[in-house]
Structure 1
Amino acid sequence: MRNLYQLTRNETLKVLRKKRFLVVMLILAVLIPLFAYGQYHDQQKIKAQTGVTDWRAELGKEITETERRLANPTLDEARRTQLTLRIEQNKYYLDRDINPSEPGATTFARIFMQFGISLFLPLLVIVVATDIVSSEHQDGTIKLLLTRPVKRWRILMSKYLTLLIFTTLTVLAMGVLSYLISGIFFGYKGWDAPMLTGFSIVNGTLDAENVRVIPHWHLLLMNYGLGWIAAIAVASLSFMVSVLVRGTATGMGVMLAVLIGGSIMVELATDFPLTKYVFTTHLNLAGYINGAPPAVDGLTLGYSLVVLAIWTAASLAVSFASFTKRDVLA
């Protein structure tokens, strides 16, 4: 255990020296203010144009506008179902006098994770993960690393533990920075606001049988907890690629192709049987607790968690088998 701790500490210092995590922090520090200001500007513009300041009237107007869009005969069936579900959810909120978009930094932080969990967060994880092993080959330090009297699996385990640390820090940074920065525009409020969770989609219709009211902070933690799980799955897959591919740029290219290609597949081939086994199909875990339709009909949170767990376990199995048995010194 002492050797593993020391190895992990050394790997952590390596990541910090490479400044890849600093790049992630800079990306968040630049983009979050832009997103927050953009949302604030849009809200102020809509209020100025409509004169609507009460959230009930605003939500009612959104329902009316969505119903008008449903009248479009050229609307495809998937989009029609999505809009119908949104109307039903909004009416459910109105009937119970609960604002689904309670103004405040808490709402922005939750929505930021909700929309970033499938692509933005995985991209940040890939920045840190893809070179954690491959850079040893690229920098020519792999031989020096493996001449130590330490078993290979311990070396690789220390790298994976380091990756888990920085993946966790990335998720935490995403939450903390989104709250602190957006609070400048929206105010630091909304922690105890009532929110609804438990919506599910059954055969294309909204099922509110298991809906319950929880405080906003609880829903926020649930979103970021599920975001962390999705990030760990992406990190593990990136870790495997970093072991198998000896070039950092190549590894990053592979992961970007897998992530973007998988996302396109989810959008265009929802009826293809293999789509429900692709890991990108299950990254939007937050959608299940926020009432969003699943990427493929019939998927549940439990099923998605199992699929991501299998992908994670398989990635680790391949990583350790390859690193401990192949001739990495060649």
Structure 2
Amino acid sequence: MSAYPTGNGTLPIRSGAWTGAGRRSGTAIVLRWEVAKLAAQARSRFLLLACLIAPPIIVVIFKGQQPPKDTIYGRHIHDSGYAVPLLILAFAAQWVLPLLAALVAGDIFANEDQHGTWKTILTRSVSRAQIFWAKTLTAIVFNIAVFIVLAASTITASLLIVGTQPLPGLSGQLIASGAALKLVAASWATALPPILGFTALAILLSVTTRNPTVGVAAPVVLGFVMQLLSSIGGLNLARRVLLTTGFEAWHGLFTQHRFYGPLITSIAVSAGWAALCLAAAYFSLRRRDITGG
């Protein structure tokens, strides 16, 4: 028997020739350990708590201020609780969402380099591929959970504090409360593909730079650069392949005649970024010499 280290002991993994079922079992053990390790970190718990309690505070602040009329849905935040989560979504897309995507993903591999624990976890029964996919799935699932908590808290607080009045659409039409709730929830859901793209980008930087600071900060900086490029005229084709453009895909849901082209493009572009980044990260980890720790 060999083992996967836990810090408080070991998890047994059978050695020897591995069958397909054995490989899946080994990956599941590593995945359970990565989830447990992440759950034990105070940073993870504080992040989830911040996503839960920060939105109501922000909504209260918005309610007591003059509406930012030069921002999409800014002029309506005192008239409908459905406008507030859309305004927050627009602001969060600038740097908050890329940061949330990178906080765990940008550190989850580099942390092993920082503490010199690669040789410890790479036992003869746990392959690099199993560790890679376990860590990747852990980061993805955690980021989805964080985003759901943030979205739910924002929408709930907005409706409780401001109200459930009908929402004006981007074409001037009035959207009834029930329909507005579904559209607002769908709008937040459209941010998931680019968030997962930023998660994959953070994983790539975590693997290749071996530096947690770079893994967390670089995706945010790159997000700013993408937004700057998207604001430059004459770069329509380039703008479509930027991850940050997908954060605006929800606009098409609020017109009189809805259009889904930007959303479809966002899903395709985000999937492309995720596939390329994860493939590069995987092969980088496979080729790396970890004999030093």
Distance in structure 2 (CA, Å) of the matches to 1:158 and 1:101: 45
Aligned counterpart in structure 1 of residue 268 of structure 2, from 290, 299, 306: 306
* Counterpart position of 1:217: 181
Letter in 2 for 1:150: V
Is this contact kept in 1: 2:105–2:136, CA < 8 A? no
* Counterpart position of 1:21: 44
Quote how far apart the aligned CAs of 1:42 are. 2.6
Distance in structure 2 (CA, Å) of the matches to 1:185 and 1:217: 15
Quote how far apart the aligned CAs of 1:307 are. 1.6
- Whether 1:256 and 2:225 are equivalent positions in the alignment is no
- Whether 1:32 and 2:55 are equivalent positions in the alignment is yes
- CA spacing shift, 1:280–1:212, aligned 2, 3 Å: same
Letter in 1 for 2:202: S
Distance in structure 2 (CA, Å) of the matches to 1:304 and 1:184: 31
Quote how far apart the aligned CAs of 1:185 are. 2.5
**Deviation string, structure 1 residues 193-240 (Cα, Å, up to 9, x no partner):** 57758x7xxxxxx9x9xx998712220221122122221111111111
* Counterpart position of 1:103: 80
* Counterpart position of 1:116: 92
Distance in structure 2 (CA, Å) of the matches to 1:327 and 1:8: 23
Matches within 5 A, 1:1-330: 1-29=24-52, 31-42=54-65, 103-104=80-81, 106-187=82-163, 189=164, 193=166, 196=169, 215-267=179-231, 269-272=232-235, 274-290=238-254, 300-330=262-292
**Deviation string, structure 1 residues 153-203 (Cα, Å, up to 9, x no partner):** 11111111111111111111112222343455224x45xx57758x7xxxx
Distance in structure 2 (CA, Å) of the matches to 1:124 and 1:259: 12
Letter in 2 for 1:154: Q
Distance in structure 2 (CA, Å) of the matches to 1:220 and 1:278: 23
Is this contact kept in 1: 2:98–2:219, CA < 8 A? no
Distance in structure 1 (CA, Å) of the matches to 2:291 and 2:216: 22
- CA spacing shift, 1:322–1:139, aligned 2, 3 Å: same
**Deviation string, structure 1 residues 52-76 (Cα, Å, up to 9, x no partner):** xxxxxxxxxx8xxx9xxxxxxxxxx
Distance in structure 1 (CA, Å) of the matches to 2:244 and 2:291: 33
Distance in structure 2 (CA, Å) of the matches to 1:288 and 1:8: 38
Letter in 2 for 1:20: R
Distance in structure 2 (CA, Å) of the matches to 1:168 and 1:148: 32
- CA spacing shift, 1:27–1:265, aligned 2, 3 Å: farther
- CA spacing shift, 1:177–1:311, aligned 2, 3 Å: same
RMSD: 3.4
Distance in structure 1 (CA, Å) of the matches to 2:137 and 2:52: 25
Distance in structure 1 (CA, Å) of the matches to 2:156 and 2:262: 33
Match of 2:130, SS? helix
Percentage identity across paired residues of the two chains? 20
Which segments of 5 or more consecutive residues in structure 2 lack a partner in the other structure?
1-23, 256-260
* Counterpart position of 2:20: none
Quote how far apart the aligned CAs of 1:101 are. 7.6
Quote how far apart the aligned CAs of 1:265 are. 2.1
Which segments of 5 or more consecutive residues in structure 1 lack a partner in the other structure?
47-61, 67-81, 91-98, 200-205, 292-298
State the number of aligned residues. Answer: 261
Give the TM-score of the pair, scaled to structure 2: 0.75
